[in-house]
Amino acid sequence: MQLNKDQIHTSNQAGLSRHAARFDFLAAQLGEDGTDVEGIVKALADFQVAIPSWALGAGGTRFGRFSFHGEPANLEQKMADVGILHALTQTAGAISLHIPWDIPTDYASIRQLAQAHGLVFDAVNSNTFQDQAGQDLSYRHGSLCSTDEAARAQAIAHNLEVVRIGDQLGSKSLTVWLADGTSFPGQRSFQRALQNTEDSLRQIYAGMPKDWSLFIEYKPYEPNFYSTVIQDWGTSFMLANACGERAYTLVDLGHHLPNCNIEQIVSTLMLKGKLGGFHFNDSKYGDDDLTVGSIKPYALFLIFNELVYGMRNNPQNPYPAWMIDASHNVKDPLEDLIQSLEAIQEAYAKALLVDQAALAAAQDAHDVVLCQEILQGAYRTDVRPLVQRARLQLGGALDPLAAYRSLGIRQGLVAARGKHSVASGL
Ligand code: LRH
Ligand code: MN
C-alpha cells in the first residue's frame, strides 16, 4: 500500500483556509517579537526522525499481546508502513533496523524500495539480549560482559555482522543496547563485567568502517532487576571515551529512574561532544515506551531547549540521530507513531521560539522569575500552524491522523495483509 501526493493533497483541501488564517495570525505575532518564522519552518522541514522497524506491530508485555490486524509481516511491508508515515508527516524519512529481526534477503531491492518510499537507513541495532535459534552459546549469563570468552567472541562477531548488513544499506551507525546485568546481589563481579564489556566494545569499534559511529545505549534495569552493566549515562559516557572519538552515548528517554533530570544529562553530553542520539518515547513509571509527549510534554520541551542551545553552541557535538523507540499495546501502531512525530516536532518548534539571548541575560542577572517566563512563554505558544506549514511545503498532510483515518489506511492494510499478519519485533 503506497500513498500518493494527490490523495494527501485532496484530503488537505477542506482545512487549507483555516490553516492559512491561523498561520498568518501566529506569524504576525511572532514577527512582532523578531522571530524568524521562515527559519523555524525550514528547521522543522529538515528535521527527520527514524522509525524503529520493531514498533510497527502490536507490542506486548509478558502478560499479553493484542494484535491490530494488517500488521507488517516482513521487512518490505515494514518499509511500506514507514513510507505511509513519511508521506503523511514528511518527518519520518528514515528507518532503524533491528538485527536479526530484519535481515534483508535482497539488498538491491531493499535499497530500491527505500528510495521509492523516500527513506534512508539510520542506525542499525544489534541484539545480544535474546538467544537465536541455532545459536551456539547462550547469552543467559551475559553477552559482551560474559565471563565466557567464547560467548563474548560470539557477541562481538554478531555486532560486526550487523555493521556489515548496515553498510550494504547505507547506514552509518551501530546502536548497542545490552541487557547484560544481574538480578541478585553477588551474582557476578561488577568490575569484571564492566572490564569485559569495555574490551568487547573496543573490539567492535575497531571493526567498524572509519566513517561509522557507535551509539552506546544505557538503561538502569530490565530485564535484569539488581544491576545492569551499562546502567546510566556516566557508564555509557565512560565507555564511549574508552572506545574513541566516533563512539557516543544514546539517550533513550525511558531509561531513567523516576524524576531524573534528563535535560541536564543532554546538556552535559553535548558540552562534552558525546551525545550521539535519542530514542524518543514517554513513560510514567519504567521503560514504558509510551507515545512521545503523552505523559511529560514539558520535560520533552526542556530537553529540546537544551538541544537547540547545544546545536547552536557546541560544534564539538555531531548532529544527533533522532529515533523513536516505542511499543504499542492499546493504540494502532501507525496512529501512535503519528502522535509521537507530532509531539517531537511541536517540542522542537517551541524550543526554537525560546529567546536564548534574553534567557542568558536573565540568568546572568539571576532574574529567576524572568527565566521561567521566557521558557514558559515559548512553551505556551500553539506552534501547530508552524508544524503544519512545514509539512504542507513538503506535500504532507495538514492533519496526518485525520488523513490516516479518512483515507481508511488501516482498513486497506487489513484488506491487503489479512487480519492475522504479525510483525516481528517487540
Ligand atoms: C531496550 C531498547 C533498545 C532496543 C529495544 C528494542 O529497552 O530501548 O533500544 O534494542 O528497546
Ligand atoms: Mn531504546
Confidence category of residue 419, pLDDT binned at 50, 70, 90: confident
Q: Report pLDDT for 137.
A: 97
Four-residue CA torsion sign, 284, 289, 295, 297:
positive
Range of the domain at 191: 48-344
Locate 142 and state its grid cell.
Answer: 551475559
H/E run at residue 182 = strand 181-182
Q: In this model, does residue 404 exceed pLDDT 80?
A: yes
For residue 302, tell me if it sits in a domain. Answer: yes
User: Residue 68: is its pLDDT beyond 90?
Assistant: no
CA 111 to chain centre: 21
Strand partners, 173: 213
Distance 15 CA to ligand 1 centre (A): 38
111 has a pLDDT exceeding 70: yes
Cα of 201 from ligand 2 centre, angstroms: 18
Instruction: Please check the confidence at residue 2 and state whether its pLDDT lies above 90.
Output: no
CATH code assigned at 123:
3.20.20.150
Q: What is the SS3 string spanning 194-235?
A: HHHHHHHHHHHHHHCCCCCEEEEECCCCCCCCCEECCCCHHH
* DSSP-derived secondary structure letter, 68: -
Q: How many CB atoms lie within 10 A of CB 327?
A: 22
Is residue 279 in contact with ligand 1, taking CB distance under 6 Å? yes
In a domain, 380, yes or no: no
Per-residue pLDDT reduced to its tens digit, 291-312? 999 999 999 999 999 999 999 9
Domain contains 322: yes
Q: Is the CB of 198 under 6 A from ligand 1?
A: no
Which residue bears the cell 485532496? 10
Percent of the chain residues past pLDDT 70, beyond the cut: 99
Q: Is residue 367 part of a domain?
A: no
Owner of C-alpha cell 555482522: 161
Q: Which residues contact 168 (CB under 8 A, 6 or more apart)?
A: 104, 107
Residue 170 located in a structural domain = yes
C-alpha cell at 52: 524503529
| Measured distance CA(406)–CA(386) in Å, rounded | 23
| Per-residue model confidence as pLDDT tens digits over 17-38 | 999 999 999 999 999 999 999 9
What is the average pLDDT across 203-207? 98
Atom number of ligand 1 nearest to Cα 222:
7
Provide the pLDDT confidence category of residue 60 given band limits of 50, 70 and 90. confident
What is the torsional sign of CA 176, 182, 188, 189?
positive
Range in 55-59, 119-123, 156-160, 330-334 the model is least confident about: 55-59
Q: Determine whether the shortest distance from the Cβ of 379 to ligand 1 is under 6 A.
A: no
In angstroms, rounded to a whole number, what is the distance separating the alpha carbons of residues 112 and 90?
A: 19
DSSP-derived secondary structure for 115-139: HHHT-EE--EE---SSPPTT-SS--
Of all protein residues, whose CA lies closest to atom 6 belonging to ligand 1?
426
Residue 425: the pLDDT is 67
Looking at the predicted structure, is the pLDDT value of residue 423 above 80?
Answer: no
> What is the mean pLDDT of the segment spanning 181-208?
98
Q: How far is the CA of 187 from the centre of ligand 2 (A)?
A: 26
- Under the banding of pLDDT at 50, 70 and 90, the label for residue 426 is low
What is the pLDDT at residue 62?
86
Average pLDDT score, the chain: 96
- Confidence label for 66 from pLDDT (cuts 50, 70 and 90): confident
Closest CA to 93 of 114, 76, 118: 118
- 54 Cα nearest atom in ligand 1: 6
Q: Are 183 and 226 in contact (CB under 8 A)?
A: yes
Residue 220's pLDDT is what? 98
Residue 219 in contact with ligand 1 by CB distance below 6 A = yes
pLDDT at position 67: 83
Count of structural domains within the chain: 1
Report the separation in Å between the CA atom of 230 and the middle of ligand 1, taken as the mean of its atom positions: 13
Q: Which of 15, 12, 16, 19 is nearest to 382 (CA)?
A: 19
Retrieve residue 39's grid coordinates. 527559519
Q: pLDDT > 90: what percent of the chain?
A: 94
**In this structure, which ligand is nearest to the CA of 279?**
2
- Would you give the DSSP letter of residue 399? S
Taking residues 280-299, report their average pLDDT: 97
Please give the DSSP secondary-structure letter assigned to residue 319. P
Nearest protein Cα to ligand 1, atom 3: 177
Segment 173-199 shows an average pLDDT of 98
Place of cell 560470539: 154
Question: Is the CB–ligand 1 distance for residue 332 below 6 Å?
Answer: no
Which of 325, 328, 426 for mutating ligand 1's site (highest number of atoms within 8 Å of CB)?
Answer: 325
Q: Hunting for cell 505556551 — which residue is that?
A: 380
Helices (H), 47-168: 75-89, 107-117, 149-167
Q: Which residue is closest in CA terms to ligand 1's atom 7? A: 287
Q: Please tell me if the CB atom of residue 117 comes closer than 6 angstroms to any atom of ligand 1.
A: no
Query: How far apart, in whole angstroms, are the C-alpha atoms of residue 158 and residue 85?
Result: 31
Do residues 62 and 55 touch, judged by C-beta distance below 8 A? no
**Whether residue 322 has its Cβ less than 6 Å from ligand 1:** no
- Tell if the pTM clears 0.85, that is, is over it: yes
Tell me the best of 144, 177, 288 to mutate to test the pocket of ligand 1, counting ligand atoms within 8 Å of each CB and taking the most: 177
Interval between CA 122 and ligand 2 midpoint (Å): 14
Give the C-alpha separation, 230 to 362, whole Å: 38
Query: Buried b / exposed e across 232-267, counting CB within 10 Å, b at 16+?
Result: bbebbbbbbeebeebbbbbbbbbbbeeeeebbebbb
Ramachandran class of 139: left when φ > 0, alpha when ψ lies in -120 to 50, beta otherwise: alpha
Tell me the average pLDDT across 40-55.
97
User: Does the Cβ of 325 fall within 6 Å of ligand 1?
Assistant: yes
- How many whole angstroms from 252 Cα to the centroid of ligand 2? 5
Considering only residues 79 and 62, tell me which one the structure prediction assigns the higher pLDDT: 79
Over residues 232-244, the mean pLDDT reads 98
420 confidence band (pLDDT: 50, 70, 90): confident
